[in-house]
Amino acid sequence: MKILYICTHNRCRSILSEAITNHLAKGKIQAFSAGSQPVGHVHPLSIKYLQEKGIATEGLKSQSWNEFEADQPDVVVTVCDSAASETCPVWFGNTIKVHWGLSDPSKLEGSDDEIRDAFFAVMKTIEQRIDKLLALDLEGLSKADKLAALSAVSNPVQAKEA
């Protein structure tokens, strides 16, 4: 399965999602990221904190979603609210589109520790979502059932009653 993560500027949340997905999926899923209005560079703290967690960062870059026109993704995941409200390119066609909103740690102002904690909180959320994604059996499901299963991935884990 190929997943394209989209955030407007493709410098932080979508980059983190791409790197963490590829790290945890170990080839079962190919993740990429892009932006509708890419800024052309990855936020330096995204790289720093990915590396701090031992997650590969080579090849990560801020790029336009137009770069993926020839390489149709199976799933498009928007990770910022502004990208979720944008009209996707027509070439996404029948691709499943879901929104897994994430807060933007790169916009936080505070101490180094507060900013680091914000990045790690977002990274933990991504890790939890990818763990849930990897546990899904999407083979043979209808498009509607796949959409429902993929949408449920972003729901917080519910505590089970004892």
d(CA 54, CA 50): 6
Catalytic residue among 76, 80, 102, 126: 80
Cα 59 from chain centre: 16
**Active-site annotation holds for 80:** yes
List 1, 88, 115, 147, catalytic entry: 88
To the query of whether residue 7 is one of the catalytic residues in this protein, the response is yes
Cβ-contact 101, 157 below 8 angstroms: no
CA 147 – CA 105 distance, rounded (Å): 27
Indicate the length of the chain as a whole number: 162
Which one from 7, 12, 24, 77 is the annotated catalytic residue? 7
CA dihedral (87, 155, 111, 62) positive or negative: negative
Is there a contact between 114 and 135 (Cβ–Cβ < 8 Å)?
Answer: no
Residue 3: burial class (beta carbons within 10 Å; 0-12, 13-18, 19+): buried
Residues noted as catalytic: 7, 80, 88
